[in-house]
Amino acid sequence: MIDKIVMATNNAGKLREVREILSPLGIEVISQREAGVNCNPDENGETFAENAMIKAKAVYEATGLPVIADDSGLCVDFLGGRPGVHSARYAPDGEKCSKLLSEMTDVPQEKRRASFNCTIAYIDDDCSFTVSGECLGYIGYEERGENGFGYDPVFIYGDRTLAEMTAEEKNKISHRGAALKALYAQLKRKVNKDADK
C-alpha cells in the first residue's frame, strides 16, 4: 500500500502539480526537505531517464520511502538534440532564450522543430519504472510572452509560445503534464493491485 511518496525536489511548483494529480489516489506527496533529505547527486546520465533514476535512487537510499524524481529539457532538431539533458546548464536563466536564438539565426522554419521532454522515475521496495511525456513544437524567431519559465518564450506550440499560455493551458499540452498522466495511470494500477492482495 502506498500512502506517502517523497518527490526528489524542493520546487514548490512541481510539488503542487504532483500533489494535485496524485491526490485522487489518496497518496500524500512530501518534498525531499520534508523527508529530511539534503542530497544533490551528480546528474551525469546521458538521458532524461538516467538522470531521473539517479535522483530517485539517491533519495530512496536516504529515506527507504517510495520516491519520484523528474528530469526534463528541450531538444532542438537543428542542434542535434541539444541542449537536451544539459538544458538547465546551457546558459544562466534570463539568457537561455537569447543564446538559443543566436544559435538559430537564419535557420528556416522547416528546420526549427523541437521537443520538450520529461521523464519521471519511480522507485520503491518492490519495483522501479520510468514514464515519459513529450511536447512537440518549434523554435520561433523572437521571444514572446510573459508567463512560464526557461525556454517557454521561444517554444511555439500551435500559433503561440508556451509563455503566451496560462499555466492551465500549458499543463494540458506540456511534456510534464503528459508524463504526470502516465505516472498517475501506472500508480493507479499498482494501488489497485495492492488492494487485491
Q: Is 73 an interacting residue with respect to ligand IMP (CB under 6 A)? A: yes
181, amino acid identity: K
Report the relative pairing of strands 155-157 and 160-161 from DSSP bridges: antiparallel
Omega before 83 within 30 of 0, i.e. cis: yes
Q: How far is the CB of 117 from ligand IMP (least distance, A)?
A: 8
Nearer to ligand IMP, 63 or 87 (CB): 87
Q: Is 32 an interacting residue with respect to ligand IMP (CB under 6 A)? A: no
Whose cell is 520538450? That residue is 116
Q: Is 87 an interacting residue with respect to ligand IMP (CB under 6 A)? A: yes
Q: How far is the CB of 156 from ligand IMP (least distance, A)?
A: 12
Q: Is 122 an interacting residue with respect to ligand IMP (CB under 6 A)? A: no
Cross-strand partners of 186: none
Stretch that binds ligand IMP, among 53-61, 64-72, 106-114, 180-188 (CB under 6 A): 64-72
Burial zone of 92 (CB within 10 Å; 0-12 exposed, 13-18 middle, 19+ buried): exposed
Q: How far is the CB of 70 from ligand IMP (least distance, A)?
A: 6
Q: How many residues does the chain have?
A: 197
16, amino acid identity: R
Can you give the binding site for ligand IMP, defined by CB under 6 A?
70-74, 87-88, 96, 116, 148-152, 162, 174
Which residues participate in catalysis according to the annotation?
Answer: 71
